[in-house]
Amino acid sequence: MPLHSSSMAIKVSHNLGLGKWNDKHNNFIPNHVGSFFIFLRGNKTHHNAMSRGHIGCCLSSFNQTQSFPVMEDQKKLSFSSPEPVNYSQELDVAVRTVQLACSLCQRVQNSLISKTSDGVQSKDDNSPVTVADWSVQATVSCILSESFGSSNVSIVAEEDIQNLSKAKAGGVLETVVKTVNECLAEAPRYGLKGPKMALGTTEVLEAINRCNSIGGPAGRFWALDPVDGTLGFVRGDQYAIALALIEDGEVVLGVLGCPNYPMRKEWLNYHHRYHRIISKLTPSTSESWDKGCVIYARRGSGEAWMQPLLHVNKNLVWPNSARPVRVSSIDNPSLATFCEPVEKANSSHSFTAGLAHSVGLRKQPLRVYSMVKYAAIARGDAEIFMKFARAGYKEKIWDHAAGVVIIQEAGGVVTDAGGCPLDFSKGIYLEGLDRGVIASAGANLHDKIIRAVDASWDSSAL
């Protein structure tokens, strides 16, 4: 079973799974599971440095500060260490919720966006926001509250109700309420508990507005981007629903729903519009294409999984044909494929192009909207993702949290351009980010990219 609900607890607790003592240096060396067991609530930099030994900027810090005296009786450790948390229930609910949200987005895209512009509004920053954004946020808010209790659920999310509440958005608000209720009515098909009665306008607005957490270093909260890559969504291109759980500043699980990203790599050669044409020519029950997927991972498991989207008129039966995904083994830059954002407004294509050339990347870049880029690396369709924001742009945690933990558990590496882990403990922004974000399929490739950034940065205009 992909979540290993029962076996995971045994795996973590068996002999404590901690690692071994290095008598020569009087240091404790944790294994992969052990680092998760001991340091889940500890300092983020040290945990990532231990479980991802390639992060050089943090290794020296770890070696200087994290040493332990040899214990005569290691049994004492079982009494002083906290019980491990495996987040199986949270991940199960999160995956099912994202599956449900993908279904909602598909319906909105087919029935609203492709036919009329009424379902699209503008935010203050001129980026479009659709019925899907608000509807997904309200739906996820409701489902998580029903599953864990509203008093136990805190959510950091992208959308607010300012534009939706405006008088001129009355028609859109009515559509959002209708869309949310239609979606929640299908919750049982996904193994989820929805509200007993249909929600009214006030209740939908309250559900959206409940997602007002500001994050931070302590406690548990969810990070949600209801439709990441809204421009891609509006244009019928790639987009993602991203949901992550963060506890004490650590991303502990992540789920990415990618409704237009095919399960099989070879289908990437066919544009999703072609898939739509083929779908009209084949029975609605056909599962031969499986054009969309949900990818998920839990911190410390060393595994990432991918499910196809649930098909119409079927119930989600766990694990829904899930299969493991793994990053590519390519570490030669000349053979690697790199991803970069489509939008030029918040990233520098010229710098990444120059950087790609200097490091030896020769393949055409894969430019896709949204966190689909993280999914592409996690499942081995590409090897590198680089994003260097223009001056004044600040990265938000919901744009990265889910993707980061998925790539890491699939065997990849994600850091800032200085080689340090991304810090999700400072609120809604990735504060202290060193220049940009780099994700790679492996440590060797990652180190080459970071060295190339250092060599090229002073001559850039960023």
Catalytic residues: 133, 230
Nearest Cα neighbor of 299 from 247, 336, 257, 339 is 247
> Which spans in 186-339 are helix H?
201-209, 230-234, 272-281
Cβ-count burial of 244 within 10 angstroms (0-12 exposed, 13-18 middle, 19+ buried)? Answer: buried
The angle subtended at Cα 52 by Cα 48 and Cα 54, nearest 5°, is 120
**Rounded Cα distance, 168 and 163, in Å:** 9
Is residue 141 within 8 A of residue 212, CB to CB? The reply is no
For 255, residues 6+ apart whose C-beta sits below 8 A from its C-beta are 91, 94, 95, 97, 98, 242, 243, 244, 294, 295, 296, 402
Residue spans of alpha helices (H) in 76-169: 76-80, 88-108, 131-148
Tell me: is residue 73 an annotated ligand-binding position: no
Contact 359, 452 (CB under 8 A): yes
Specify the DSSP class assigned to residue 410: T
What DSSP string runs through 213-243?
----SSSEEEEEEEEE-HHHHHTTS--EEEE
Which residues pair with residue 222 across a beta bridge?
A: 155, 245
Half-sphere exposure of 283 (CA within 13 A, CB side): 4
Q: Please say whether the beta carbons of 299 and 407 come within 8 A.
A: no
CA distance 141 to 205: 11
Residue 77, both tokens = 């450790």
Which tokens sit at 266? Answer: 């070879």
Q: Show Cβ contacts of residue 10 under 8 Å, excluding neighbours closer than 6 positions.
A: none
340 annotated as ligand-binding: no
Q: Does the annotation place 381 within a ligand binding site?
A: no
Residue 399 in marked binding region: yes
Phi, psi angle pair for 429, to nearest 5°: -110, 155
Q: Indicate left, alpha or beta for 459 from its phi (over 0: left) and psi (-120 to 50: alpha).
A: alpha
If you search the block for the tokens 């200097």, which residue do you land on? Answer: 358
- Which residues are known binding-site members for Mg(2+)? 158, 225, 228, 399
- Which residues are known binding-site members? 158, 225, 228, 399
